[in-house]
A = this chain, B = another copy of it.
């Protein structure tokens, strides 16, 4: 029994695997139990169990006239500001706002999130809620600032294939659309991803080790330093949103440009 922490926090875990007996489902249960034992509040969105609708369409915006062309960003902003989003989307937005930290738990499918989780992102992070002219600017104090964000991912490949010289690409680069594009863009502070390789045939003792490592990541969810991405308004970018010349250490290219 872990003693309650001095400051209990609220954590939302979004989990995406079709089988409740899967490694991913086990990690979600483990994380929820571990965080609760430490005194935190936890809510879980188990997307497959919820039969989460993955595709953005006109039904997401009940007031949108059927005969008017669907500009998704505009319709999404209108519905958000009017408080007229579909009920499932509104419920998830409420959970995100409630949370102090967001954990995404998923198997890496085609170098990205499973479609059902992409659909949670596409539908929940509407204009007017997570980005857009009516809220705080991106990559700065963004509308979801004050929250931490952790990717917990499993993949079948060996670890070296996702290392800094691995053929699949360095994992933080492969996850850039999530880490920098979703979390940081909306103001959340992303932590280094927690990843379990060889996940298609994980021996039982590896699972025990992985769980210990994950426990450590959960214990430091609110104290570990986030990834030091640059801010848009911190003086590093020009008005066209390009990194100013000579801002990076010599020899840096690619996505690492955007870290301090």
Contact = CB atoms under 8 A, between A and B. Distances in A.
A242 B255 CA distance: 19
Copies in the complex: 2
Given A115-B116, A163-B242, A251-B253, 15 more contacts: A18-B57, A21-B69, A54-B55, A73-B200, A110-B181, A112-B177, A114-B122, A118-B118, A165-B243, A170-B255, A173-B254, A173-B255, A177-B177, A251-B251, A254-B254
A176 B56 contact: no
A168 B73 CA distance: 18
A206 to B, nearest CB: 16
A119 interface: yes
A132 to B, nearest CB: 10
Interface string A229-257: 01010000100111100000011111111
Interface residues of A, number: 68
13 contacts: A18-B56, A48-B57, A110-B121, A110-B182, A111-B181, A115-B121, A116-B119, A119-B119, A167-B258, A173-B254, A174-B176, A250-B251, A255-B255
A58 interface: yes
A93 B156 CA distance: 23
A157 B71 CA distance: 15
Contacts of A114: 55-56, 118, 122
Interface string A110-141: 11111110110111010000000000000100
B119 A241 contact: no
A161 interface: yes
The 4 A-B pairs of least Cβ separation, nearest first, read A254-B254, A111-B181, A115-B119, A111-B177
